[in-house]
């Protein structure tokens, strides 16, 4: 009886785990981005419809008033926070910002001790 069992390779297993983790993070990020775009599309379509209905039922009231655009305004605030939740961390600080700051502070500390 011959056993053809290959030895357990810890490095290969770790690499596969890291790849799977990266894939799951990327999948989660894409899901968030798609969710934001659906939210934005519904915001645009529904608010166009609301503004159209309001414009047909004004009965002499001014169109350019806060009452007409209050839904657009408040929902727009929600869209902005959704945008910041999805794109904000990279938008505000850029990629590897934290790592660059850590290196800068470490360099400053090292200069003090030289």
Please give the pLDDT value at position 104.
Answer: 82
The C-alpha atoms of residue 105 and residue 108 are separated, in whole angstroms, by 5
pLDDT digits (tens, 9 = 90+) for 55-108: 888 877 788 888 889 999 999 999 999 999 988 767 766 667 777 878 888 887
Considering its fold, how many domains does the chain have in total?
1
Please give the pLDDT value at position 6.
Answer: 57
In a domain, 1, yes or no: no
In a domain, 31, yes or no: yes
* Single pTM value for the model: 0.66
In a domain, 77, yes or no: yes
| Statement: residue 9 has pLDDT above 60 | no
Domain that holds residue 29: 10-113
In a domain, 35, yes or no: yes
pLDDT digits (tens, 9 = 90+) for 50-67: 999 988 888 777 888 888
């Amino acid at each position: 009886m011959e056993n053809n069992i290959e030895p357990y390779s810890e490095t290969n297993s770790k690499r596969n785990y890291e790849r799977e983790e990266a894939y799951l993070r990327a999948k989660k990020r894409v899901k968030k981005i798609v969710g934001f775009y659906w939210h934005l599309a519904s915001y645009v379509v529904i608010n166009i419809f609301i503004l159209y209905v309001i414009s047909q039922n004004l009965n002499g009231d001014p169109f350019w008033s806060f009452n007409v655009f209050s839904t657009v305004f408040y929902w727009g605030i929600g869209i902005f926070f959704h945008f910041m939740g999805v794109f904000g961390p990279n938008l505000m600080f850029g990629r590897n910002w934290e790592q660059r700051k850590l290196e800068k502070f470490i360099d400053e500390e090292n200069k003090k001790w030289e």
